[in-house]
Amino acid sequence: MKRRELIKGLAAGSVVGLAACKGNRTAAGPAAPAAAARREWKMYTTWPKNFPGLGTGANRVAELITKMSGGRLTVTVYGAGERVPALEVFDAVAQGSAQMGHSGSYYWKGKAESSPFFCSIPFGLTAEEMNGWLYFGGGLELWRELYAGFNLVPFPAGNSGTQMGGWFRKEINSLADLRGLKMRIPGLGGEVLARLGVTTVNIPGGELFTALSSGTIDATEWVGPYNDLAFGLYKAAKFYYYPGWHEPGSTLECIVNKPAYEALEPDLQAIVAAACDAVTTTMQAEMTARNQAALQELVGKHGVKLLPFPAEVLQALMKTSEEVVAASAGKDTFTQRVYASYKAYRDTVIENSRIGTQAFLNARSAR
């Protein structure tokens, strides 16, 4: 055999052998994966673009997902009004116009009666207590069961902590001073005040300053000093009340289009969840760190009058809140299930909070 023919024969045999080896590997187990597909997602939010705390929290979720995935899943954030109005985020993500959204579940009470329980309800749970219910008390499972009917997968993705009671153009000295006011306040808190004679409306955060300064509304709640300062609400109203009885620990949500989520590889699904968990922690930390400095500026520099709600008002708010929450729970069987889970957890955790956090805070304040 000539040398050239021998080389050709060896080469051919090598190719056949290599093909056989590849075939064996395929039969025994998967071959090395092809280059991972890259996805580009859109996130619509209820907040103004880059708004401190809430908007930047949404940005952090997107940044973490993009970085942790090595760019396999990149998320671009759009603020309220850039693609859809602030209060149309839910529908946009459910329909697949965007793969993700960042908002608060109590905005969707008109779609699902039980939705406020997964954000905050009057005289409900603090941020720490909410995390306990969601992650270890069955709350997250109920939340996902509810949203599955809307083609969505929800994740906790931020918490404002205990909010402020709101901004008022006039002083509130009694229940009588509430009657006839027009106030922006969403969720069950709005229903409570409506029973006490307040006309309540729900408008996006980005429209609050204009509505309050023009007299379209007489009062508004938003979040707390850090966010309220950023909106300049002190320019339109000088009476700033506490505590935030209506939102003691507001959980924010990241909603994901269900088919888009289920199309992700398991590691990318885990990355989405981990990013949301991380922002739940960092947003609350940021609010805690920045609220006091903002409050000092509001009072010391801008002349805001910081006042507690009168005892008469708080007592009426608590009594009416119990009635409103119970009435909401009775509207459908699913809300009854959510309420039962929430109440059972709340009744248990209240005692732990009383002898733990509350007792410590009382002792520290007494020094």
CA torsion sign, 197 to 199 to 202 to 203? negative
Q: Is residue 283 part of a domain?
A: yes
Query: Chain-wide mean pLDDT for the chain?
Result: 91
Q: The CATH number of the domain where 91 resides is what? A: 3.40.190.170
| Nearest to 101, CA basis, from 39, 143, 45 | 45
User: Among residues of the chain, what percentage have pLDDT more than 70?
Assistant: 90
The model carries a pTM of 0.88
Per-residue pLDDT tens over the stretch 168-178:
999 999 999 99
Question: How would DSSP label each residue in 245-279?
Answer: TT-SS-EEEEEEEHHHHHTS-HHHHHHHHHHHHHH
342 vs 134: CA distance, rounded Å: 9
3-state SS of 23-41?
Answer: HHHHHHCCCCCCCCCCEEE
Q: Is residue 127 part of a domain?
A: yes
Q: Which of 8-17, 108-117, 266-275 has the weakest average pLDDT?
A: 8-17
Q: Is residue 271 part of a domain?
A: yes
Q: Is residue 10 part of a domain?
A: no
Find the domain containing 277 and state its range.
39-159+249-288
Given a cut of 60, is residue 274 above it in pLDDT? yes
Per-residue pLDDT tens over the stretch 28-74:
444 334 456 899 999 999 999 999 999 999 999 999 999 999 999 99
User: Among residues of the chain, what percentage have pLDDT more than 90?
Assistant: 89
- pLDDT at position 37 is 86
Per-residue pLDDT tens over the stretch 69-116:
999 999 999 999 999 999 999 999 999 999 999 999 999 999 999 999
Given a cut of 80, is residue 124 above it in pLDDT? yes
Cα→Cα distances 21→14, 16, 25, 35, 102, Å: 10, 9, 6, 21, 50
Question: Count of domains in the chain?
Answer: 1
- pLDDT at position 36 is 67
Note the helical H segments in 69-161.
89-95, 127-136, 139-148
Q: Is residue 215 part of a domain?
A: no
- pLDDT at position 53 is 93
DSSP-derived letter for residue 355 is I
Tokens 């980005």 correspond to: 206
Q: Is residue 337 part of a domain?
A: no
Q: Is residue 209 part of a domain?
A: no
Q: Tell how strand 219-220 and strand 166-168 pair up.
A: antiparallel
- Number of other CB atoms surrounding residue 223 within 10 Å: 23
Per-residue pLDDT tens over the stretch 194-226:
999 999 999 999 999 999 999 999 999 999 999
Q: Is residue 120 part of a domain?
A: yes
